[in-house]
Chains A and B, each alone.
Chain A
């Protein structure tokens, strides 16, 4: 247990940097949410671009959570866990987009 204490004292700068990351992340997530609300309510964008902007803001939010809060880049070996999460995002996209595409017949016949 001793070893960890020594290490942590040596890394005070690192900690300050880490705290800054959390604060920046929090502010960013608030700002991004407010931006989404503003775009949604106060702006008369047509449906398509509006959806695009909102989804883009959501993707940025996820970036904040993943990189600034969840430390996705950290670890103690090759970053295989990042690869797993990346694959999950890929298949999230594939299954959602693929299902909606395949099921879009519904709107043609309805």
Chain B
């Protein structure tokens, strides 16, 4: 293994020097750099959601005589979605944990479980949307519904993309095992997944729960 990739590790210690401290996904400067880049992406993605939340909060009372949050939201549905997503965040965390122990088999297993939970979440959300639309609560019914479908739908499409990405990582882990590059990919897809959980916690709180109880 070459010690220097073409990226000169500026503030990094040279590989090997701090080997006792860093875990495998950080063990090569080029991979560690990609993790940093991904954190930056998450930061900017968070601001994307910030703008959607601001729009939702501003418009959530603008129901134009149509269904309101209180009359529309299905409590068992969103509670189930919440617990499924929280559990999937935990299982993807276990995948990271197993990745650090370099157990490719268990990483694959926990990734599959995470993906299944993710699919269940997306399925429930799709069903929820279809139900609303059948009740006449479509995106063009009111500003509140436009904002609701866009905010929650953006999160849902993030989760769907995450599932596809996780599938790609899964195949690579199965084929190549765990080495610094695949480890970095498992780590990144996993923090992406946790990040989506962070966003969901706010959707749960700001959109659903306060929508129903206030």
Chains A and B directly touch (beta carbon < 8 Å): yes
Q: List residues of A whose CB falls within 8 A of some B CB.
A: 1, 3-5, 7-8, 15, 18-19, 22, 25-26, 29-30, 33, 36-37, 40-41, 47, 50-51, 54-55, 57-58, 61-62, 65-66, 68-71, 74-78, 80-81, 84-85, 87-89, 91-92, 95-96, 99-100, 103, 106
Q: Is the CB of B47 within 8 A of A69?
A: no
Give the total number of A-B pairs whose CB atoms are below 8 A apart.
150
CB neighbours (8 Å) of A99 from chain B are: 51, 54, 58
| A66 and B13 alpha carbons, distance in the complex (Å) | 25
12 A/B residue pairs, CB under 8 Å, sorted by A: A8-B24, A25-B90, A29-B86, A36-B204, A37-B79, A47-B214, A54-B210, A70-B191, A70-B195, A75-B26, A76-B18, A85-B42
Mark interface residues in B19-44 (1 if CB within 8 Å of A CB, else 0).
11111101100001001100110111
| Those of B90-104 within 8 Å (CB) of chain A | 90, 93-94, 96-97, 100-102
Residue B119 is within 8 A (CB to CB) of chain A in the complex: no
Provided the pairs A8-B102, A80-B36 are in contact, do residues A15 and B198 lie with their beta carbons within 8 angstroms?
Answer: no
Shortest CB–CB separation between residue B16 and chain A, in angstroms?
Answer: 8
Q: B89: which of A8, A29, A51 is its contact (CB, 8 Å)? A: A29
Q: Given contacts A65-B89, A77-B11, are A22 and B58 in contact (CB under 8 A)?
A: no
Q: For the complex, what is the distance from the CA of A55 to the CA of B142, rounded to whole Å?
A: 26
**Given A8-B24, A41-B213, A103-B58, 20 extra CB contacts under 8 A:** A7-B20, A15-B97, A19-B97, A36-B205, A40-B212, A57-B205, A58-B206, A65-B89, A65-B197, A69-B89, A69-B194, A74-B23, A76-B12, A76-B22, A80-B36, A84-B43, A91-B47, A92-B50, A100-B54, A100-B57
